[in-house]
Amino acid sequence: MSAPLSVDVFPMRWGDMDALGHLNNTLYFRFLEEARVRWLEEHGWSLRGDVAVGAILAGTSCQFRAPLVYPCDIRVETYLSKIGNSSFTMGHRIMRDDRPDEIAAEAEAVVVWCDYAAGKSVPLPETLRAQLTGGAA
């Protein structure tokens, strides 16, 4: 696997556990969302509704491999899995920060670049494409 686009670490809170004593499945998606939003905003792509064109989440999935149990810090590694004309797929690996070789979950998020007013996809900006692939814009 290539180098990650980003690595984020989030604290697991006591209240994040479910009745079975491990991280509630809905929180995995919350951490993935936070990692995705951080990456986009850190690279200059606003998600605050103040732009006419930008990212929308078209789909997401998660395969749970092992439970995460409090207390721990949760590490989310984000990768580029696929890039198309108007969309890209971010792959994610989730694990304890102190046990990065023990994958707790693998996930994907499909992001489409969209003209919000028209409600239609548009080509990815060249700058974004370069940021995702490590090339020059």
| Exposed / middle / buried, residue 35 (Cβ in 10 Å: 0-12, 13-18, 19+) | buried
3-state secondary structure of 36: helix
Report strand pairing: 87-96 vs 73-83.
Answer: antiparallel
Say what the pTM is: 0.91
- Residues 112-131, mean pLDDT to the nearest whole number: 95
**Does residue 137 surpass a pLDDT of 60?**
no
Secondary structure of residue 37 in the 3-state scheme: helix
pLDDT interval class at 80 (50, 70, 90): very high
Q: What confidence tens digit (pLDDT) does each residue in 33-78 have? A: 999 999 999 999 988 777 899 999 999 999 999 999 999 999 999 9
Give 87-118 pLDDT, tens digit per residue. Answer: 999 999 999 999 999 999 999 999 999 999 99
Residue 36: count other Cβ atoms within 10 Å of its Cβ: 23
